[in-house]
């Protein structure tokens, strides 16, 4: 029985994988939070990997506090770059299959067409820089690894845009949401299923892949979809990013082209409205 190690087990993706895991008893699942797999302590991390001795690693653990990363650059790079480098090196030495999760924030947002895996990377914040460094190190240390770039992740678990909107729309009469950042959300449960589909596939084609739900929208339009599904009376006002300054800049356009992952692994990617509705229907 192959053993799958899931890092970042208490995060959105890790939590969704834990929901799906019982349906796949052919694998032994090891869900590791930061105490079991310590990404900010490299010496300890290596010994932890040796102890767990996995056959497959889903590396979803990361430093994801985008704004905080601007003032915690060293920690962001330790977790998103150096720990990834170590995991990739370990996976090569032990012949472990590795799927590493990355982000649309490796792009600068200057594009006007959906970004494929060959698009030029040029991050505009520390978080994006650290994740790109992790990608480069991952492929250098383990050319047989798979990297999945994703965007705007949400889930019934953890903190995310959807849950924030649900709360604010019940608390306030009016909210402002930026309308000039374009992309597509990713329901973490869909991404989790895609990862399981990949390891269950008869083929393993290494490299970078994009994954998000289908649809091209702004955060404002996403908020309107949340309002409609929730039946909230709150007024949603679209505003430019310049009216909502944050420590870290965000890409203005980071829509991901998913043709590669759909073609190679024959994945059926749901539209964002369908997946959002699925989340709303869950009672957790």
Domain of residue 23, CATH code: 3.40.50.720
Residue 43 CA to residue 47 CA, distance in Å, equals: 7
User: ∠ at Cα 96 (102, 198), nearest 5°?
Assistant: 55
* The pLDDT of residue 214: 98
Query: In the predicted model, is pLDDT for residue 81 greater than 60?
Result: yes
* pLDDT interval class at 80 (50, 70, 90): very high
Asked, for residue 248, whether it belongs to a domain, the answer is no
DSSP bridge partners of 178: 239
pLDDT of 1 above 60: yes
| Residue 276 falls inside a structural domain | no
Q: What is the DSSP string of 63-117?
A: ---TTGGGT-HHHHHIIIIIHHHHHHHHHHHTT-EEEEEEEGGGS-S--SS-B-T
- Give pLDDT tens digits for 153-175: 999 999 999 999 999 999 999 99
DSSP state of 53: -
Classify residue 191: in a domain, yes or no: yes
Region 210-216 average pLDDT: 98
Instruction: Write down the pLDDT at residue 261.
Output: 98
Q: Kindly state whether residue 247 falls inside one of the protein's structural domains.
A: no
Any domain includes 241: no
Domain membership of residue 94 as a residue range: 2-160+186-214+254-270
Average pLDDT over residues 79-101: 98
Domain membership of residue 227 (yes or no) is no
Average pLDDT over residues 87-101: 98
In which band, very low, low, confident or very high, does the pLDDT at 282 lie, cut at 50, 70 and 90?
Answer: low
Give me the number of domains the chain comprises. 1
Is 127 marked active-site?
yes
Q: Is residue 277 part of a domain?
A: no
| Domain assignment present for 51 | yes
pLDDT tens sequence across 108-153: 999 999 999 999 999 999 999 999 999 999 999 999 999 999 999 9
Catalytic residue among 127, 154, 187, 272: 127
* Tens of pLDDT, residues 42-65: 999 999 999 999 999 999 999 999
Residue 283 pLDDT exceeds 80: no
How is residue 243 annotated by DSSP?
G
Q: What is the pLDDT of residue 284?
A: 37
pLDDT band at 281 (very low <50, low <70, confident <90, very high): confident
């Amino acid at each position: 029985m192959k053993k799958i190690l899931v890092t970042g087990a208490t995060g959105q993706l890790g939590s969704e994988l834990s929901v799906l895991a019982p349906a796949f008893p052919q694998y032994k699942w090891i869900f590791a939070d930061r105490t079991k797999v310590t990404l900010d302590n490299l010496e300890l991390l290596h010994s932890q990997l040796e102890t767990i001795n996995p056959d497959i690693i889903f590396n979803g653990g990361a430093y994801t506090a985008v704004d905080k990363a601007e003032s915690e650059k060293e920690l962001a790079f330790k977790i998103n770059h150096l720990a990834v480098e170590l995991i990739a090196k370990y996976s090569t030495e032990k012949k472990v299959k590795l799927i590493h999760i990355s982000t649309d924030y490796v792009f600068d947002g200057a594009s006007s067409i959906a970004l494929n895996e060959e698009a030029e990377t040029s991050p505009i914040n520390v978080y994006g820089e650290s994740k790109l460094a992790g990608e480069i190190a991952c492929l250098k240390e383990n050319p047989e690894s798979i990297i999945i770039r994703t965007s705007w992740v949400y889930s019934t678990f953890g903190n995310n845009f959807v849950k924030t909107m649900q709360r604010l729309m019940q608390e306030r009469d009016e909210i402002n949401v930026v309308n000039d950042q374009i992309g597509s959300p990713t329901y973490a449960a869909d991404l989790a299923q895609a990862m399981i589909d990949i390891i269950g596939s008869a083929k393993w084609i290494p490299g970078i892949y994009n994954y998000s739900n289908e649809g091209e929208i702004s955060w404002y339009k996403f908020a309107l979809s949340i309002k409609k599904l929730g039946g909230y009376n709150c007024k949603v006002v679209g505003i430019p990013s310049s009216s909502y300054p944050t420590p870290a800049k965000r890409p203005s356009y980071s829509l991901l082209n998913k043709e590669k992952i759909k073609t190679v692994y024959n994945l059926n990617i749901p539209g964002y409205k369908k997946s959002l509705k699925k989340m709303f229907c869950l009672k957790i």
